Chain A
Amino acid sequence: MNIERYDRQTILKEFGMEAQLKLQAAKVLVVGAGGLGVPVLTYLNAMGVGTLGIVDNDMVSLSNLHRQVLYSETDVNKSKVVTAAQKLKEQNSETDIISLETYLTPENALRIIADYDMVIDASDNFPTRYLVNDACVILNKPFVYGALHSFEGQVSVFNFEGGPTYRCLFPEMPKADEVPNCNENGVLGIVPGIIGNFQALEAVKMITGIGEVLNGKLLLFDGLFNSFQKIRFSLNPENSKIKALQDSYDFNCEVSVNSITSDDFLQLLAENEIQLIDVRTPKEFEKNSMSFAKNIPLSQLEERQDEIIFEVPVYLVCQSGVRSKKAVNKLKEARANAELINVDGGMNEILKHAIKY
């Protein structure tokens, strides 16, 4: 370790060389290399956390750049994990960066998390958040939670030294259409920067033992009014008793949905005329869409059903495959006999393959 590099923090008497050595020995897994993951990774890497794992399978897109400040215009359409690992290596060559180019799933979560001291949940969806929670409870690892909504953010530390978990605040996972995400709802570029930095700070405090972590406390931040609230909450012991992961953390695990992979879908396209309904917002649709697709946002699907021809198969697509599944289920209720097919992985996957072709 190059001692000079960390001089300005090791001269802090509350921190010192002792804390620096703890950072160096620490292994932290960051789930998600997006809005929250970027500041978390950048600061933990700069400050000298010895081992950083990064899990994500997304690609950089142009609409990420206003908040995911590690990425440049030339990185668009490249793997986030690979790009982030490269830049972090340049930032601090002493860090052991472990790139995991995959999404966290019930199949891989326990195996991946087992290798780390703690997890930073920098994901952008509820299924991953509940999966991180349950896996950390099973493996007895603490995790730092951060989440965003427009101009607001939430931060907390869960499952730390017998403290409460994510399920003690929000016992049940919301359903797919309850709470919008950043892609649908929007987020001001700097807000993930602020919340992600709070997450990094909590991780540093947990590793080094300085200060007081947000254990049993939920920090609420509102960027428009510079207001902070701290909510105290306690452990519901039932939530510490999780012994196994759920088979699926999918939004629609109770209903199986007829799906096609993006690869098969693109092959099908080459030879057939296809009715494709894109259920994203008009804004998302404008940015990138299949030329023959018809845009009916999920929120208008019910009242605009008569624009769909149910005599032929109906393919449904969205950004990542979550809303289109929801759309299949909505239409199924009204049109039991229609052939409704979800395009797995949505435009994210289609664009990946389209680049290959």
Chain B
Amino acid sequence: MEILLFGIAKDIVGRSSFRFEEGDEVPKSVLELKQKLNNSFPDFGKLSSLAIAVNSEYAQDGKSLQRGDEIAVIPPVSGG
């Protein structure tokens, strides 16, 4: 499972993507993924809106995840 990070999510984690490898415990749903991010990087907890896309499709918290999914973590950005 590959996680692509955008905007401030990239700044919080410190890189533009990471992977859950074979043997890693992968999150079973979007909500679990968000919780995992919050636990590892508490700054995620501060974001009031955080869009998650699974295989290029916007996903709600209840969406279940598979090992081969590509996830995009998309916080709002304001700059202009």
User: A interface vs B, CB < 8 Å?
Assistant: 32, 34-37, 122-126, 129, 146-150, 152-154, 169-175, 177-182, 185, 187, 192, 218, 220, 222, 225, 229-234
Contacts and interface: CB of A to CB of B under 8 A. Distances in A.
A174 B47 CA distance: 7
A150 B48 CA distance: 21
B34 to A, nearest CB: 14
B79 A148 contact: yes
Contacts of B57: 231-233
A232 B56 contact: yes
A150 B56 CA distance: 22
Contact of B80 (A34, A185, A218): A34
A21 B78 CA distance: 34
Interface in B1-58: 4, 6-8, 10-11, 16, 46-49, 51, 53, 56-58
B49 A37 contact: no
A231 B10 CA distance: 17
B58 A234 contact: yes
Given A124-B80, A192-B79, A220-B74, 8 more contacts: A124-B78, A147-B80, A169-B51, A170-B51, A171-B49, A174-B76, A182-B79, A231-B74
A147 B77 contact: yes
B7 A152 contact: yes
Residue among A147, A149, A232 with the most chain B CB within 10 A? A149
Contacts, number: 107
Interface of B: 4, 6-8, 10-11, 16, 46-49, 51, 53, 56-58, 72, 74-80
Contacts of B75: 179
Contact of A37 (B56, B76, B79, B80): B80
10 contacts: A146-B80, A149-B77, A152-B7, A152-B77, A180-B8, A187-B79, A220-B6, A229-B4, A232-B58, A233-B58
A28 B14 CA distance: 39
Nearest to A166: B76
A230 B58 CA distance: 10
Contacts of B56: 229-232
A175 B76 CA distance: 11
Among all A-B residue pairs, the 9 with the closest Cβ atoms: A233-B58, A124-B80, A148-B79, A170-B49, A149-B77, A182-B79, A149-B7, A170-B76, A231-B53
B48 A192 contact: no
Contacts of B10: 152
Contact of A222 (B16, B48, B49, B80): B16
Contacts of A170: 49, 51, 76
A126 B78 contact: yes
B80 A175 contact: no
B51 A182 contact: no
A122 B48 contact: no
Contacts of A37: 80
A57 B80 CA distance: 15
Contacts of A153: 77
A125 B49 contact: no
Nearest to B76: A170
A232 to B, nearest CB: 5
A281 B70 CA distance: 37
Contacts of A173: 48-49
Contact of B79 (A35, A172, A218, A222): A35
Contacts of A222: 6, 16
B77 A148 contact: yes
A233 B60 CA distance: 10
A179 B8 contact: yes
Nearest to A183: B79
Residue among A125, A150, A181, A231 with the most chain B CB within 10 A? A231
A231 B8 CA distance: 18
Given A126-B78, A154-B77, A181-B78, A172 B58 contact: no
Residue among B48, B58, B72, B76 with the most chain A CB within 10 A? B76
